[in-house]
Amino acid sequence: MRVLDADDVTRLLDMRSCILEVEQAFRARGAGKLASSSVAGLELVGGSLHAKLGALDLSRVYAAAKVNANFPENRARFGLPTIQGLVVLFDGLSGLPLACMDSVPITAARTAAASAVAAKYLARIDASSLTFIGCGTQARAHALALPHVRPIEHVIVFDEDLGSAHKFARELRARHLAVEVAASVRDAACAGEIVVTSTPSRRALLDVGDLRDGAFVAAVGADNEHKQEIAPALLRAAAVIVDDLDQCSRIGDLHHALDLGVMRREDIRASLDQVVVGAVPGRVSDKEIIVFDSTGVAIEDVAAAVLIYERAEDANFGFLMGVKSAQH
């Protein structure tokens, strides 16, 4: 089994390739090929564990299990990252463990890659203004991903931690982008044609009237049933595309709308895989608001992990650790 640390993963996983591989994973699912996924969670004191498992039939059948620990107070309490974890990649036919790798750069890249795939099909073709609500790791990954699919020229940022917003703004200005720091969530949201929400919020941040006509929202913060970024009324008024309908119904922003009876599963326009293969139209007018409810699907992790593993094999990255099979 090949073991890869965060530096190895970062060197091997470029954003353009990640976007292409994640798009292919959704295309495989939409075409009815093996692209299965499952999720589990466990609440802990001060945090939680999230497990995502998936399988894809690519050059061969691969499966992966990702376990992330999410402890929002880690930085202040222990000087540790909020999210830590591992991805284990398996041969999907024999179950042989092929690689174990740091999950943090994978999670950041594949989440942003999925949003970029969604924006490719769902954002207005001329969208050039981009808003970030939340200025952490995911915002930085999305800032790398979205310019691959839309001509981003103007960026608006907002974070409840004003220092974080200004730090992120300085980083973006160093890349020769026009950046402004918004005074409120609403000011930020109504300024962007593409809006990325990536916060740990447990209450809705965006509601009806907070977005401009034609906006595309990538809502990536709600990855368990306790989190929420998008108000049910806004979901009801918008066209909603999900990464996985069952998963979003349980742990995404969608589940709040379903629980309140504001929406039914039948009200969802499509899942991203259906849009990618052309089975269901994505955007149907320049004025409609589209929300992508992104809970993070395990096939994204498999796609990214396979790309990393195959490149690591070719370049002999990481180190090899023997794995002995056991029979019980």
Contacts 24+ apart (CB under 8 A), 229-232: 229/133, 229/197, 229/199, 229/201, 229/204, 229/205, 229/253, 230/197, 230/204, 230/205, 230/206, 230/291, 230/293, 231/204, 231/206, 231/207, 232/204, 232/256, 232/257, 232/260, 232/262, 232/263
Contact 222, 228 (CB under 8 A): yes
Both structure tokens of 245: 């309908």
Spatial distance between the Cα atoms of 65 and 40, rounded to a whole number of angstroms: 11
| Terminal Cα distance for the chain, rounded | 21
**Catalytic residue flag (residue 66):** yes
Q: Which of 66, 227, 287, 324 is catalytic?
A: 66
Question: Do residues 276 and 26 lie in contact, with contact meaning Cβ atoms separated by under 8 Å?
Answer: yes
Q: So which residues are the catalytic ones?
A: 66
